[in-house]
Amino acid sequence: MDLNRAMIIGRLTADPEGRTTPQGTSVSSFRVATNFTWTDANGARQERVEYHGIVVWRKLAEICNQYLRKGSKVYIEGRLQTRDWEGQDGVKKYKTEIVADNMIMLDRAGASTSSGGSANFEPVATSAVATEIPTANNQADEEIKVEDIPF
């Protein structure tokens, strides 16, 4: 069995770039920055930032173009794919990207984005079709009592 799965949580480095193929298919691309922190042998805190290229197709691309902005915090899930092409200098070039099939917006409603705008959405899980994740604002006011839990 083979597995090609990538999952990241990070922030967009710029607004998504949306376009349409000649066949009319929506596609969006953007980069997400993630960071890794650790303490080195001398006890100094170190940090490394990685930048991930993301490609999104069809309805999910339209959702990304509409709601994501520079600085938006997102969860991206997809598969790794490497493209190759020959550059103008005749040298073969390679680019590995995450082709996303799931995206969750992690910013809270009313949270300010780094582009100066205001995000007006609740966390939403998206794949081929957008589905809202229940939040404290839209759940029923039903209290769960400890004695009701069966274990």
Domains and CATH numbers, the chain: 6-134 (2.40.50.140)
* Cα torsion 107, 111, 116, 121: sign: positive
If pLDDT is split at 50, 70 and 90, which confidence band does 39 have? very high
Mean pLDDT of the region 59-75: 95
- Residues contacting 28, CB < 8 A, separation 6+: 16, 17, 18, 19, 55, 56, 60, 61, 62, 64, 65
Give the per-residue pLDDT at 109.
59
User: Cβ(120)–Cβ(109) under 8 Å?
Assistant: yes
User: Cβ(121)–Cβ(68) under 8 Å?
Assistant: no
Give the per-residue pLDDT at 129.
39
Give the per-residue pLDDT at 149.
56
Q: Supply 132's token pair.
A: 């809202």
Question: Higher confidence at residue 113 or residue 29?
Answer: 29
The answer to pTM > 0.85 is no
Share above pLDDT 70 across residues of the chain, in percent, rounded to a whole number: 72
* Cα torsion 82, 16, 5, 33: sign: positive
User: Cβ(92)–Cβ(82) under 8 Å?
Assistant: no
DSSP secondary structure letters along 64-96: HHHH--TT-EEEEEEEEEEEEEE-TTS-EEEEE
